[in-house]
Chain A
């Protein structure tokens, strides 16, 4: 007996010494990545998971500045203003051992332009991507595009051979519920390799020992265990009990509790994300209301009244516990085109709202369904519930339908919701990104997240011209005039800008990234 005990103790001791260099980061947030397919679903948390395994040409570092990833440098061509030249990193290998070359870049950009791709708005101005040699790529745009690099920070590069071998050349049809090899498997060049994945349960990634930047970045985490925990209290309990080291989507009501706990900290920064409601104003009649043969949301007075009924200060004070900033426009303050004046245009005025409703012929109100996610934004469902009460005060009876984001988002992109909540972050830091996705009329390759039915040809032309407008002053004037229309039409009802809170164990060393995109290769572990 004694010898067995001694042996097992020695074994245990050995095991502890052996694990000194192995650092597991147990990471949780409210929802899971919707898919691993790099070009389906342009959604924040989905990109976050991809960023650990796949890489774009250029990424943003912890401060938000550009950092070379698969491209080492890039510049507009000296000969042709419509061409950008990218020099690629040499000696990079995909996880399966294949070499990374220009061919993969060309392939990935073509893939990202497919009809099912959710990334096509970002590269709509690119007409051709050509490989000059194995490590040089030229991108031709339909006019000079000075801000092209900022559109590429979430555009991941796949291995051409791997996709062909696994029959996953086509982007997954997410809305159609398709599952392909690439949705559950990953083969990138990134710092971590997918080990196992159970959607909505657990994803495990291990350090890529062949990563090109292994000496350049801390890379102290050797294994990542990612667990989505939808329930806020359970999520915090996991952090408090030490089951989790790093928590995104910190519930705002528990900030003090976590901050006061031994060995835990909360880090905070304003987030590049605005939360708002969208309304289907383009249809003649909508399915979600109780008015037959007419669409109350088509009347700008109704939309203005709805915006005026929302008490953003109360939402900030009570629902968000001060962790938000009331918004008057759907651009975060980081973004080119944001102005303080427009961001303070939202006012609360119940009497004025009632008068507007009466003027529009809806003095008796109407009823409508509000579609809302319950595992995506901070207190998303509670905000929607608060809106139900506030809109009730001007006679609008709102039926709230809250559901997980995996079911909510397809409603918007498929045009199956008439009143919905959405949040938008702007990875390009420019208004053009917002216009391309949310303001331009819905077409096959642009305006795909515009669920409002708003379609204005003059405005669309102006939005399209932004990509190739090199005169920054004129471009900014155009942006301002587009915003004016968005504001006057009350295209959306802005609610607030989120404040970002990351809860973590003190041993985790990382600063908050305004895009809410932690890249684990920057993490240190003490």
Chain B
């Protein structure tokens, strides 16, 4: 479809992407594509032990190897050796909260705290030589007992990950709404379960990487980085290196998938290389390999929950109590974002008056935990959806009925939860129509027909078929703010610059759509720049499903201002009131007399004159900058359903049909939205049945390759997928949007569990842990 011939209203249309031609022809710049003259290459010596004291490091042989330029250990770093900054502050808004800050270090000094922790870096003329030289470095270790299990971490005789703490407790937060114990006293039914969710990898197809160039003559540092947050990274690097912000330019070029870990800033590699480049006065490149990505890129999901739910005999939830342990790994630089999200999502889409939630966050000798697509939300949703399923069985209700009896009703928004969310703001759900979304999903999967007609027939044929349906919410679009600057150029083309990074979400197109509608230009004439601090240097980054909401609304606000300037100029030059003007076809023109017009390019030149005067109180050019900060995050919601068949001999699962209904407010581009949901689903499916990071008792990661850690392939996806939408605009922003980047992944494990139990009804299976695998499922079914 040629966008030039279609209606000039872009928001809400299936616009193909502006960025695609470069990506499809191999012309897009990724970090590893940056090649600079005289560039050196870095390789890191990483710990094979999860926990050990470093007795001695000898780098002398490595330094003798031809082509090696430098080898650095912690001892070489002097005052630059410092633990990284805390990226998210502690939850002091919660009374009584305990938090022990222990952030990651650039190179291990006295001991190593997880397998893969860097000990030394070699910088050489080629990556091949740098890796050869790693073999030359001698390290003498004294192995220590590894802290691996979450409960074991809190046992009094556990080894200490951080010797200066009394225990491995990293944080302790209790939040309560209403009074759970009083509610429990009135309950007809009380169910208790232990629910376990284990770790997975984000596994973006592009590994992390950084290229740095200190230009000694210009006294400027340029950093190409696979980051989701170029601006905070620039600010932090400038502070660490004693430079002004304007001496540091961070560029996040095309980034090959983020999914969370690329928001984790100041990892050893991106802190060390700028420092080394300034010392060596040469550019340096480091590109993570896949094994390093498994060992040394942040991970997520490990939690153990002890849950109690109290209900009436009609299935109304009176109260929920969730006491859980959250694994933060060896350090906690990302504060409590993940467990706070879990606390905020364990209430699901439901009107729960009494809620007690207590988390103990623990240090273990495993890689650091920071958000991975979902970021604590899938665990919370797994907890509440599983407990509702178990309650439904107990009470003889259908999964749909018990959910309907507990939804927050559409007229009860904004709904206050009286607990604190990941942004330390009160958790408030702004809008939604949860029953309508669930009903739509039920209709699309043909729930009643399947259960009454099809399932009995297929079961009679000996087939183990099952159906599932769940609801979920996703808090998205959190603050603090994003900004954008929009400029109309002399060519009539429009430049949009914003601070967020982009990792495939289609920002070059969805943001262009917003601007094209405001300024009446072709969407292909809007050029969006993201992730270059030299172009725009205010903002925080792409995380928490906030790009379209926060940056999208900042762009909208700036576009509205530029539009106003155009109308003002147009009115003056065409001598008609602004109300009689329209912006279309790249021109401002009189609506009734379209031939009476000025192109935006001409106007841009007139607005930026070379001689004469610019009127007092006005600004030159057709340009505006604006910002958007939401009052609080917009909460999206959805319902997913699936029909699957299990082979009870091999436990191979085939998903016959999948339905996803989303309500993410105003949809900017349905094509991009579909892609986000489908991609999220593939990751959620991995979290349910394929992907688990297997750490042994020594803290060794046993499956650190794509041969052993299974990503979902095309043949693993549901055979049929249908997507549905409901639209409840968010009242929190002018566009009315809510985030959706993580939504696809969040409900999948809980849905998969319900459908599996349904398919294997003969075996009286109860699933309270994720991820599963065919092996695991086989053991669960047959060991009874």
The answer to whether A and B come from one shared complex is no
Point out residues on A near B: beta carbons under 8 Å.
none
**Chain B residues with a Cβ under 8 A of chain A:** none
